[in-house]
Structure 1
Amino acid sequence: MATLVLTVAGGLIGGPLGAAIGATLGRSFDSEVLFRPKGRQGPRLSDLSVQTSSYGSAIPALFGTLRVAGTVIWSTDLIETRGSAGGGKGQPKVTTYSYSASFAVLLSARTIQGIGRIWADGKLLRGAAGDFKSQLGAFRWVGGGEDQAVDPLIAASEGAAKTPAHRGCAYAVFEELELADFGNRIPSLTFEVIADAAAVDMGSVAETVSGGVVTGASGFLLDGFSAYGDDRRAVIEPLAEVAGCWFAPGTDGVTVQAGSGDAVTLADAGVHGEGKEARRGVREIASAASLPDRVTVRHYDPARDYQAGLQRAVRPDARGGKEQQVSLAAALSAVEAKQAAEAILMRADVGRETRRLAVGWANCATGPGARVRIAGESGSWRVTQWSLEAMVLTLTLSRIAPPPSMEAASSGQVSSAPDRVVGKTVLAAFELPLVSDMLLTMPRIGVAAAGEGAGWRSAALTLSEDGGTTWQAEGATALPAVIGTVVTPPGAGSAWIEDRFGMLEVDLAHAAMVLGQADRAALLAGANAALVGDELLQFGAAEQIAERRWRLSALWRGRRGTEDAIGGQVAGDPFILLDAEALRLLDIGSGRIGGVVKVAATGVADNGNGPEVSVAVTGRSLVPPSPVHLQADHPNDGGVQLSWVRRSRTGWTWRDGVDVPLGEATERYRVTLTGTDGTLRAAIETDTPALMIDSTMRGTGVLNVAVQQIGDNGLSLPAQITLG
């Protein structure tokens, strides 16, 4: 800082000279008077990244946009919520517990314009679009106005009379943040706070921090800055050092001075005195050994999500000497920080040269901090000392460095927390076809869910078996499924040969979902199985034709006994890629066969109103598939010999020379004969896959034949043939 040296021999000097001296004294920037240190250090980078809840913690005054942790100023105890899942239908009932908390975090000692992203334990809790990645009841921020009211949630908990409004301070309030994602504790939070709509000048920061004592613009812009602590000097000095500014007396206080600007031109009147001592120190150049070889600037880098960055400038002739470190609680780009480091190094080098200039009495008001030029010489100087000694008025000057050139710089490898929009929940629920070899004893519902955005992770699942009157919690959905809707149905096809002509077009829930190819071996192993409407099919080829639209071909139709649904799809039907890890399986009581159950899912972005779907329980997951290869031979006696091949709920893999397992307690079939008018002619049961219909039973006219296998839990769908 500038120091004023004043030595007057003899008594009081009055008149214009005395007035000028008094004015210079009164307007000088003296760190021991205006910015007397109070013992607290200025802000460090680490201070902004660690959340505290200590009483008496410093409250930062934020400028621009910056990422800060803040201070927890209020919180509830953990809120425990008890639920249950399962129970009944032979299943054990499981009691589950979840925890949440409500709390408030103080952010800034001056007003803010908004809050952007929020990180919890280093992961995004709130994205740039304002979407939350974890479940919570509500979120709001209070801007820090002098007229703001008390927060209603805190007032309801603590009592209105005991709740401060925190006027002049900005803070954020979380209501019932679910803590399961954070080990059932309040996570360490950091906030992207927008205090000002644009970058701020270093001079504006100094003016606010000093309470208006320091004024003026510097031309050095900060993307963001955090000022806190009682020591105003410790806040302002690092800013001035990086900006290349200094301070000078002003009309009503102290003004910010920058390297460029108007300068007073002075002539060197010579130094009065006797002998060589009078001329000593007119021009001095300090040794380069006193300078740092390296300057490092630590800062917050917006390109690194405001994580700490470091930029370094090194002297060309550096020999491993001392290093100057500048730690600035400010948001700067890598290029800006690099340029600041180069500028500090250049100013140190250029500033080695000092001049002592004798001037006339008319220039006695040109005091410390003034910007001057020396008549007949190039370059600019600033006054560092004003000295009146032995009736000689002398100014000590330090050369001002020119602006540094723009330096290339890199933020390094950036590993930002992914910001994927969650989106509303998309839900599909269906009674499973016979997708596995497991023999079920009760109907099984498959639930697949995803979101309209790639950031969706899961949703709370509930089930109602009484039409929505009561609901029971079923925990969370499985991993996000690949789910969508039919745009162009595949049309008719055969379950016995590959469909090389039909194509299926679907729109997936969001653009990040993908479908892949599968060769014959992979298809035989069960790859690319999808439920389309009520048909289970597989696809060998998938082509993306738009952002979310895919065209599927090389179709294997009517898989696992769903051939009856071939050709029944319409546009808008659900499409679900069947993946074991993306399915929640729910067993339903056998008494619900023939009825409807409802499934609902509520995710983070659903605002408590998630989708709900109804599932007709037919029992298809419990009964054997329909017989196949039903044929009729006509002997000469006028009768009909029927034969068919049974299928099984288990043993879907083809085994040469070995019949598939029965999968039921007994082998039995029901054969129903009806006329064209629907009149029942006969219903016959047999324990072999064949039946002889004599001429009397056959009768005359057209005869419709339906064959069903009798399973342990009901009848299969019929295999049918018409006899003319």
Structure 2
Amino acid sequence: MATIVLTALGTAIGGPLGGAIGGMIGNSFDHAVLFKPKGVEGRRLTEVQVQTSTYGSQIPKLFGTMRVAGTVIWATDLKETRHRSGGGKGRPRVTSYSYSASFAVALSARAVRSVRRIWADGNLLRGVAGDFKTEVGAFRLHGGGEDQAVDPLIAAAEGVGLTPGHRGIAYAVFEDLALADYGNRIPSLTFEVEADEGAVSVAGLAAELSGGMLTGEGLGSLGGMAASGADVGDALAPLVEAFGLALVADDGGLRLRASGTEGGAAVGGGGLCRSVNGRTLEGFEQSGGAADGVPVALSVRYYDAERDYQAGVQRIGRPGPGRLEQGMDLPAVLTGEEARSLAARKMGMAWTGRATMTLRCGWDALRHAPGDVVTVDGVPGLWRIEEREWEAMAVRLALRRVPGAGAAMPAGASSGAVVRQADRPHGPTTLMLADLPPIRDGLVTAPVVVAAASGGEGWRGAALFAIGATGEASPVGRTAGRAVMGRLDAALPEGSATLIDAVHAVQVTLLAADMELNGADEAALALGRNLCLVGRELIQFSHAVQTGEASFRLEGLRRGLFGTEWAMAIHEVGEDFLLLEEDRLVEPLAAYGGVPEMGGAVRIAAVGVGDSEPGEASLTVTGEAVVPPSPVHLTARADGAGGWTIGWTRRSRNGWRWTSGTDVSLGEDREEYELRLLAGADELRRVVTDRPFWTYDAAAVAEDMGSAGERAVEVRQIGSHALGRAARLVLAG
């Protein structure tokens, strides 16, 4: 016996359709694909938008574009951060605490292309431009590829050997998401996931879910779908039910087929069997169901793109007797018009389908396939073949009446109103770039260009872009946390790089009133606290006095740190001030494999949360990190014979602490110096030596005696990557 069944409303593939497949192709396909032992039940429409963290809960396969909550698969304990504010102009000092968390959310058991908007407790967390409304340290999407590596944050917390790559699972990782806006707890999140570009075909969806065992043509397409269930039949059941798909078997294997509404060949008449082997058969049987067995209203629940992919409902009613109402969940993306038409079609099928018919025909009826819409001789209307069975030497056809062609619902279905949170900017972004000397221990081999960004109190971060010579913008990551920055209110006079400057002070107005600067003791200063960049000079301060709402006077200055004494004489009103905190700085080029070139231009743009225009900053790379600092203790001693002995002490960019009492490490691949003897602006001599001294003998002095102008000597260390800054000494006027 061979049976093919067309599924009815509310029937899963694991029911009559699954039984038909088992009868056609045997237990191998039956047990391997459609009828595996029942496991965890998949989530349907409403459950996809409720975030869970239940062990063993099923993760759906996403197609197209969907909005899903996902499943929390990993999380850290809450991280506590203490903040101090106030304390100036008679205000008490306030210590507050904030909390953040790092966690991972599984989104799809199938690879995805991207994540666009994200909502937290129904409020917009991430905008369509990729900007976060709440501070987050980092956000990473693992697309679900079969070769994806472990997440570095999870691996650092759990151990590389204990951290799975979650291959085949698309998941998102949040680092240090600020929780103040959500009651200091991880909020319930929903994600707008783009798993495929554009709409997805139903045939392609079925083929992927069945491992290529089911094919089809002309089945239409969907904007998106979340497929889940205990087996393949369970996953495909909503589509089969919603669109009245038929499963047929032919030489090419199993395929899904869309049921038509146009009448094809005629059945009946002389083709009906009257007897078999001398036994009389009833070749024609017809029956009809009661009207009150058809629901008086039918609702389709679906995902509506016009409602930000939230659940929508379209409802169709009918006149006449009955009290039953029926609903259908379709975990797919439709328009309101499509959902209403679907509900109307299902209602029409249910009403017309009360009439059924059974025909017993000769062998020529085998040419009719399940799903065919036919006419029956002597019977009005169109009929769809639901079953075809070889039974007692006759072909039994089970038919159900379908609505006639040409009927259409009037247009005008509405998706309804939706309350959306406005995706507004949180204020302009201010960006600063700095070419820094090495302020950390260790030797660097390339210039260090860092970016710091900030804004008003509501500023949450920005995306960074490197602007090329032709104006093209390339993404280079995101900013770090909100930096403390501002502008100088008065020019800072030149001071001493060897003494604590107790005479001068830095007067600065910060970018926002909620920013603050605090003093530090000697132990904190030794650890690098209160290091700031004022113009191009690096300075530390030990005292901070608030002079206005956002203004401070910084005292107890340590000037010209890390070899920046050359910049002490070039300060001016309005120049940049930046508090250097390592967690507030990023290296936008180095972090993505780029290396700033000496003498080259770096131009970076920052696009913050809703910035109407990007903030930009640019600089010419001088390579302070690879330029040797100028020598110190430059001396000239007369040798008694009319000449001079020039001596100096080198410094090293490989270490700024004198801890052992011996010379600091060299920091370059060789020790070499360039010495220039000048008379005014004219160069008299240029000498290269590998020792920290040089003899300007009497003969050379006599030879140069006729030159006019101030006689001076400049000494630079020749570095591995650049020529160092000069130390200058005047020999004679």
TM-score interval (norm. to shorter): 0.5 to 0.7
- Specify the alignment match of 2:310 in structure 1: 307
- Specify the alignment match of 2:103 in structure 1: 103
Q: Give the match's secondary structure for 1:149.
A: coil
- Tell me the CA shift for residue 123 of structure 1: 0.5
- Tell me the CA shift for residue 121 of structure 1: 0.9
Q: 1:341 aligns with which of 330, 340, 343?
A: 343
Query: Unaligned regions of 5+ residues in structure 2, if any?
Result: 6-19, 432-454, 462-480, 489-504, 517-547, 557-571, 585-605, 618-733
- Structure 1 length normalisation: TM-score? 0.56
- Structure 2 length normalisation: TM-score? 0.55
- Tell me the CA shift for residue 392 of structure 1: 2.8
Please say which of residues 326-335 and 359-368 is displaced more in the overlay.
Answer: 359-368
- Specify the alignment match of 2:645 in structure 1: none
Contact 2:3 2:389 (C-alpha < 8 Å) held by counterparts:
no
Residue 163 of structure 1 pairs with residue 163 of structure 2? yes
CA distance in 2, matches of 1:604, 1:74: 30
Q: Does the C-alpha gap of structure 1 residues 28 and 272 become closer, same or farther in structure 2, counting only changes over 3 Å?
A: farther
CA distance in 2, matches of 1:58, 1:405: 39
Q: Give the match's secondary structure for 2:388.
A: strand
Root mean square deviation of aligned Cα = 4.5
Residue 420 of structure 1 pairs with residue 424 of structure 2? yes
Q: Does the C-alpha gap of structure 1 residues 392 and 45 become closer, same or farther in structure 2, counting only changes over 3 Å?
A: closer
Letter in 2 for 1:585: E
CA distance in 2, matches of 1:452, 1:141: 20
Contact 2:132 2:609 (C-alpha < 8 Å) held by counterparts:
no
- Tell me the CA shift for residue 88 of structure 1: 5.7
Letter in 1 for 2:333: A
Contact 1:387 1:394 (C-alpha < 8 Å) held by counterparts:
yes
Contact 2:100 2:178 (C-alpha < 8 Å) held by counterparts:
yes
Letter in 1 for 2:301: R
- Specify the alignment match of 1:440 in structure 2: none
CA distance in 2, matches of 1:28, 1:260: 29
- Tell me the CA shift for residue 345 of structure 1: 0.4
Letter in 1 for 2:296: D
- Specify the alignment match of 2:632 in structure 1: none
Q: Does the C-alpha gap of structure 1 residues 206 and 41 become closer, same or farther in structure 2, counting only changes over 3 Å?
A: same
Q: Does the C-alpha gap of structure 1 residues 124 and 212 become closer, same or farther in structure 2, counting only changes over 3 Å?
A: same
- Paired positions, count: 463
Residue 172 of structure 1 pairs with residue 172 of structure 2? yes
Larger CA Rg, structure 1 vs 2: 1
Q: Give the match's secondary structure for 1:357.
A: strand
- Specify the alignment match of 1:26 in structure 2: 24
- Specify the alignment match of 1:139 in structure 2: 139
Q: 1:356 aligns with which of 345, 355, 358?
A: 358
Aligned ranges 1:655-670 → 2 under 5 Å: none
CA distance in 1, matches of 2:457, 2:367: 78
- Specify the alignment match of 2:323 in structure 1: 321
CA distance in 2, matches of 1:178, 1:44: 31
Contact 2:125 2:133 (C-alpha < 8 Å) held by counterparts:
yes
Q: Give the match's secondary structure for 2:66.
A: strand
| CA offsets 1:261-310 (integer angstroms, 9 cap, x no match) | 89863542123149998447533333323211111111111111122211
Q: Does the C-alpha gap of structure 1 residues 379 and 40 become closer, same or farther in structure 2, counting only changes over 3 Å?
A: farther
Residue 290 of structure 1 pairs with residue 290 of structure 2? no
- Specify the alignment match of 1:211 in structure 2: 211
Q: Does the C-alpha gap of structure 1 residues 173 and 320 become closer, same or farther in structure 2, counting only changes over 3 Å?
A: same
Q: 1:405 aligns with which of 392, 408, 427?
A: 408
CA distance in 2, matches of 1:153, 1:107: 18
Residue 35 of structure 1 pairs with residue 34 of structure 2? yes
- Specify the alignment match of 2:549 in structure 1: 585
- Specify the alignment match of 1:485 in structure 2: none
| CA offsets 1:183-223 (integer angstroms, 9 cap, x no match) | 22211110000011112233332222233332213533221
Letter in 1 for 2:419: S
Q: Percent identity?
A: 43
Q: Does the C-alpha gap of structure 1 residues 107 and 63 become closer, same or farther in structure 2, counting only changes over 3 Å?
A: same
Q: Does the C-alpha gap of structure 1 residues 219 and 367 become closer, same or farther in structure 2, counting only changes over 3 Å?
A: closer
Aligned ranges 1:490-529 → 2 under 5 Å: none
Q: Give the match's secondary structure for 2:230.
A: coil
Q: Does the C-alpha gap of structure 1 residues 136 and 39 become closer, same or farther in structure 2, counting only changes over 3 Å?
A: closer
CA distance in 2, matches of 1:375, 1:29: 39
Letter in 2 for 1:86: G
Q: Give the match's secondary structure for 1:137.
A: strand
Q: Give the match's secondary structure for 2:265.
A: strand
Contact 2:515 2:550 (C-alpha < 8 Å) held by counterparts:
no
CA distance in 2, matches of 1:461, 1:241: 57
Q: Does the C-alpha gap of structure 1 residues 23 and 595 become closer, same or farther in structure 2, counting only changes over 3 Å?
A: closer
| CA offsets 1:312-359 (integer angstroms, 9 cap, x no match) | 1111x2345211110122221111111110010011122223333343
CA distance in 2, matches of 1:346, 1:366: 24
- Tell me the CA shift for residue 173 of structure 1: 1.4
Q: Does the C-alpha gap of structure 1 residues 371 and 30 become closer, same or farther in structure 2, counting only changes over 3 Å?
A: farther
CA distance in 2, matches of 1:472, 1:605: 16
Q: Does the C-alpha gap of structure 1 residues 261 and 354 become closer, same or farther in structure 2, counting only changes over 3 Å?
A: closer
Contact 1:51 1:69 (C-alpha < 8 Å) held by counterparts:
yes
Q: Give the match's secondary structure for 2:136.
A: coil
Contact 1:84 1:474 (C-alpha < 8 Å) held by counterparts:
no
CA distance in 2, matches of 1:374, 1:200: 37
- Specify the alignment match of 2:496 in structure 1: none
CA distance in 2, matches of 1:25, 1:266: 28
- Tell me the CA shift for residue 376 of structure 1: 8.8
- Tell me the CA shift for residue 80 of structure 1: 1.9
Residue 66 of structure 1 pairs with residue 73 of structure 2? no
Q: Give the match's secondary structure for 1:112.
A: coil
Residue 128 of structure 1 pairs with residue 128 of structure 2? yes
